[in-house]
Amino acid sequence: MKVVVPLETKEREKRVALTPDVVKTLVQKGFEVAIEKSAGLKAYVADEVYKEAGASIVESKQDLYANADVVLKVNPPEPSEVSLMKKDAVLLSFMWAATNPELVQACAEQGISAFSVDAIPRISRAQKMDALSSQSNLAGYKTVIMAADALGKIFPLLMTAAGTLKPAKVVIMGAGVAGLQAIATAKRLGAVVEVSDIRPETKEQVESLGGKFITIEGDESIKTGGGYVKEVSEEFLKKQQALIQKHVAQADIVITTALIPGKKAPVLITDEMVKSMKMGSVIVDMAVEQGGNCTLSELNKTVVKEGVTIIGESNLPSLLPMNASELYAKNISTFLLHLADKDGFKWEMEEEITKGSLIVHKGEKLIG
């Protein structure tokens, strides 16, 4: 089978779906691999290095897609890209299918099959395929580094002859993969860290990393599944805001990570809460692409409002393209090797990983 990797066209994207080490592994397993010219340059991988790993370099995107049995991407393709794929080809990428019906329809009309990386079930045997976690891990780290750079003070306690500098106080909202990495990074830099999460089972993880858990009593409106919060009521969100307001007002940095799959991000930081914060403090809104956890954040902008710096970077993993590409390449190649070998796809339709992640099968939509 011929596996191809196109150049990512999304704005602000620097990642690439395969790295040379992973190309070498796939070639050894009998796959033919082709890379679009310059696909890896923003991740600091030259075309020559791909050639040395056994891949061919293709100049034209049209030629690349026309000969592809399998297309590996990071971001969801545009419908115009899908139209370049041959019938019965297979796409593996992030798809966010629940909120991207046009892409699902385009795949069906083209007669291809499409697997969504973000729909891989969160089970133990799929951990090596879990691109959501690998990318969120890096995002959590980068978030703290960006916040530290924007803050006009240091993180750790510092005792000098001229006086003692108090440690920075960081409040992190959400103790998922990104939140936990943010806790660990902020603690390593010497900050005092407080964490809120509506899932009480995260308390032990937070405390094991040295964070102080802000206890919020849940209610029946909270629905979870696969490690994620699926649904929460407006009434509960207001209760949560009221409880954490005093913590936010005292914080030097607030990092928000709350997302609900397929829905607008919940509002955690209101205009009034921003006004209550100290002059010079920093907010990083990791949910800005889904509407934002902070009412004053702006997509792909860093703004100062009420004396507070608010960072709204939508693609944090892309700011670490070398590591992000390396991890994603291992995730997606493990996924591919689970689904197929050099001779073709297994199509084990009742197998849990296949069933959970297959969005379109040979032109037939399996969702929506």
Q: Which residues carry out catalysis? A: 122, 127, 130, 133, 228
Query: Cβ atoms within 10 A of the Cβ of 167, count?
Result: 17
Upper half-sphere CA count for residue 242 (Cβ side, 13 Å): 7
Burial of 263 (0-12, 13-18, 19+ CB in 10 A): middle
d(CA 22, CA 174) in angstroms, rounded, equals: 33
72, 4 Cβ separation under 8 angstroms: yes
353, 102 Cβ separation under 8 angstroms: no
109, 287 Cβ separation under 8 angstroms: no
Query: Cβ atoms within 10 A of the Cβ of 6, count?
Result: 24
How many residues are present in the chain?
Answer: 368
151, 282 Cβ separation under 8 angstroms: yes
Among the listed residues 101, 33, 111, the one whose alpha carbon sits nearest the alpha carbon of residue 72: 33
Q: Which two tokens stand for residue 185?
A: 């990074």
